[in-house]
Copies of this chain bind each other. A is one copy, B any other.
Amino acid sequence: MIPHLTTALSGPLLDLEKRILSSMPDIEHWFRTQWLDHGSPFYASVDLRNSGFKLAPVDTNLFPAGFNNLNPEFQSLSVQAAMVAIEKICPEAHRLLIIPENHTRNTYYLQNVLALSSLLKAAGLEVRIGSISPDITEPTTLPALEGHTLLLEPVVREGNRIKLKNPELGDFDSCAILLNNDLSGGMPDILQNLEQDLIPPLHAGWHARRKTNHFAAYNQVVADFAAMLQIDDWLLNPYFESCEGIDFSDRTGEECLAKKVELLLNKIQTKYDEYGITQTPYVIIKANAGTYGMGIMSVKSADEVRGLNRKKRNKMSTIKEGQQVTEVIIQEGVYTFESINDAVAEPVVYMMDHFVIGGFYRVHTNRDSNENLNAPGAHFVPLAFEKPCTLPDCADAPDTMPNRFYAYGVVARLALLAATIELEQTDPMHE
């Protein structure tokens, strides 16, 4: 049973959130016109940080896990949004093949696949799970949480299609394939040149994606949005810089890193001075093609990246699936102002098509407010949002509580729009 959370923040709404709430009709109209020009990804999750003065996305996941952490009371909202997404992307589909990550020993992750599969079944599809892991050579039933199990079947390639072959259950040939595998380890041959619809497209995988492309697109999006709202876009946007040609093992690129860190810290300090913020600026250094909380460090001065010891360099040089880090993004750190029983809490917002379907808090008792919460060993406690993000305060209904999650839903949708534009700009068919 997922614990319900009244709200991490029970204090008064902050100025920025109030501004967002009061501009709600303009914001929704703005989003509607944006979605007329841009098709949304099928699904996504966005990690947010709320520092009180600033509310910003720090990561946008196009292969979201964690569907098991959403509030089950709002499953109907997810199902309805999934119906919209299916109607837009593959209305003719009867069947959907989900391709999960290869790490099949993670029961939390398998529970996510189960939750995702259930909601797509409830949206009216026949769903089976096809693994591209070399470990899965025959239909394999794996334990998820709470006594649930998940059947993984090996994916078989035939011509330009992938299928499941199963004498017991029957074969499975779907016209649409949903990737829940972020392709960190590269683009597998078995997925190349398929005639079936791949959702999201292959170039959304981390073998091709760059955080800097995402945040460059976010710069565009948030500049327009902030102009419409007449606010400083920095309040929604973390500064960032990047360095290429890095090799942590032999300290190549260290000076670039130090310079960019210094540049960024100075820019942040200028903004902190402007707003009278007394905290110490910090930046987060992350693999530009990375995910999964690996290859990440938090620094407060340029000196911290000079002369890193071997242990830290090793930690930074390799990410998921053993990929070497050669490019990094250096991103303004946003303190998290939210806590639950003294534990730092980071909201994660989930979307299907362009609809916010819920979210949860990552809560971790052993981390500081300037540390990344999505890290290996960060065994966070997921706390589902008690309310959906779609119902802000309404003047007509005085007994409706103001809903701070609305602002989270808005910023998450800005990041989603940025991801859409990023995928348009990086589409190999587009060039």
A interface residue numbers (CB < 8 A to B): 24-29, 31-33, 35-36, 73-77, 79-81, 83-84, 86-87, 91-94, 114, 117-118, 121-126, 148, 355, 387-388, 390-392, 394-397
Contacts and interface: CB of A to CB of B under 8 A. Distances in A.
Nearest to A151: B396
Nearest to A28: B124
14 contacts: A25-B121, A25-B124, A26-B94, A28-B124, A29-B94, A32-B86, A36-B91, A73-B73, A76-B388, A76-B390, A76-B391, A77-B80, A79-B391, A121-B395
Contacts of A117: 396
Given A25-B124, A27-B124, A83-B355, 17 more contacts: A24-B124, A25-B125, A28-B123, A29-B125, A32-B86, A32-B87, A74-B76, A76-B387, A76-B388, A79-B390, A79-B391, A84-B84, A114-B396, A118-B396, A118-B397, A121-B394, A122-B390
B396 A80 contact: no
A431 to B, nearest CB: 30
Which of A28, A32, A81, A118 is packed against the most chain B CB atoms within 10 Å?
A32
A379 to B, nearest CB: 25
A304 B356 CA distance: 57
Contact of A80 (B81, B91, B395, B397): B81
Nearest to A114: B396
B355 A80 contact: yes
Contacts of A35: 87, 91
Contacts of A75: 391
A80 to B, nearest CB: 6
B24 A392 contact: no
Would you list the 5 A-B pairs with minimal beta carbon distance, nearest first? A28-B124, A76-B388, A32-B91, A118-B396, A25-B126
Contacts of A33: 91-92
Nearest to A397: B118
A412 to B, nearest CB: 15
B32 A124 contact: yes
Contacts of A92: 32-33
A49 to B, nearest CB: 25
A39 to B, nearest CB: 12
Given A87-B35, A91-B36, A391-B76, A125 B28 contact: yes
A148 B74 CA distance: 28
A396 B80 CA distance: 19
Contacts of A83: 28, 355
A142 B73 CA distance: 35
